[in-house]
Chain A
Amino acid sequence: MTSRDGDADRWLDRDAGPVVRPYAVTKGRTLPSGGALLGLIDIVVGTGERTSDGFWQGPEHRRIMSLCRRPIPVVDLTSEMDLPVGVVRVLLGDLTEAGMVRIIPAQQEPEPDQRLLRMVLDGLESL
């Protein structure tokens, strides 16, 4: 799979055009370290920890840190960053591993409970 020859290889690197660019900020990684896939409505909270030694913080990491001073759902963070959600997930993986952010899973695993459903219903009915 990694060593395919032929036409597909022509689309690697620069030839692939701007579509690969977003993942440059993740150094080409498409999966967050740690592996856990963040849900779109999970919530990101800055822990207030300083950068740990050996963690290289890029401008996108800093941007995330400034956006999550208050708890912010992944989808809103992504929208603010104007980066693809896959990229933001990788960056959040870095920051989680460095202890700088914490992810609070949305309370819906495996599915929303009656309490949350009631909140949603009450909210909608009050509109």
Chain B
Amino acid sequence: MALNPSDDALAELSVPSTAKILIAGGFGVGKTTLVGSISEIRPLRTEEPLTDRSVGIDDTQGVHAKTTTTVAMDFGRISFPSKLVLYLFGTPGQERFWFMWDDLAIGAVGAVVMADTRRISDCFSSIDYFERKGTPFIIAVNCFDGAPRFQANDIRIVLTLGPEVPIVMCDARLRDSVKHVLVSLVRYVMSTKSSSQARLA
């Protein structure tokens, strides 16, 4: 990969490096809990124009036919001593906010798709989205108290995932558990990238 030409300037200005990870999954699956367990949560307002025929494609000529939709979302922020800032974005759940997903997904390290075994189908649309976009993702099963426990393999079959996609059991309330989820994602992304480079070589 080519070096970024502004690397020198970045060092001079002491500009932080930034990266982002998406946290997806159905409503109430624990996305905000997970983000809050490991990072400082901050609010983000988005008020995006929507047209009735082209969601996600903006066009100034269409202003008169537009309406706007407000999405208040949170994001998490972790600053590291290495001057890296990692952002965790919970993806808005409802399908009408999918125009925002593209914005969030571009340049992301990858995604954590959270699943609840009591409502496993809630995460199907997130999986579909990331598969379509080619965004690497892992599954984090949020083990709610009283929810039935399953083996990772059973979950893999239900979600029709290939053997390579990691499935991690977690408790979104616990920092160490969340850390394990994020580390698993980054390791997985690194392994997929190096194996695809090996194939190219």
Contact = CB atoms under 8 A, between A and B. Distances in A.
Interface of A: 1-4, 8, 11-12, 16, 19-20, 22-23, 28-31, 37, 39-43, 45, 71, 73, 75-76, 78-79, 82-87, 104-114, 116-127
A10 B175 CA distance: 50
A29 to B, nearest CB: 7
Contact of B65 (A8, A104, A120, A127): A8
Interface of B: 1, 4, 6, 9-10, 13-20, 38, 42-49, 51-53, 58, 60-70, 75, 77-78, 80, 82, 84-87, 89, 103-104, 106-109, 175, 179, 182-183, 186-187, 189-190, 193-194
A40 B14 contact: no
A86 B99 CA distance: 13
Contact of B19 (A30, A43, A71, A106): A106
Contacts of A117: 109, 186, 189-190, 193
Contacts of B4: 105, 107
B67 A16 contact: yes
Given A30-B49, A40-B103, A84-B48, 5 more contacts: A84-B47, A105-B4, A106-B17, A117-B186, A126-B80
A33 B6 CA distance: 23
B108 to A, nearest CB: 8
Interface centre among A3, A23, A41, A43 (most CB of B within 10 A): A41
Contacts of B66: 30
Contacts of B82: 119, 122-123
B186 A121 contact: yes
Contacts, number: 161
Contacts of A4: 64-65
Contact of A73 (B45, B52, B68, B85): B85
B103 to A, nearest CB: 7
Contact of A40 (B13, B45, B104, B193): B104
A87 B47 contact: yes
Given A112-B19, A123-B82, A79 B43 contact: yes
Nearest to B51: A1
Contacts of B60: 29-31
Contacts of A42: 18
Contacts of A112: 19, 107, 109, 189
B65 A2 contact: yes
Contacts of A78: 44-45
B48 A120 contact: no
Contact of A41 (B13, B20, B63): B20
Top 10 closest A-B pairs, CB basis? A84-B47, A108-B107, A123-B80, A41-B18, A71-B15, A121-B186, A2-B64, A106-B18, A113-B1, A84-B45
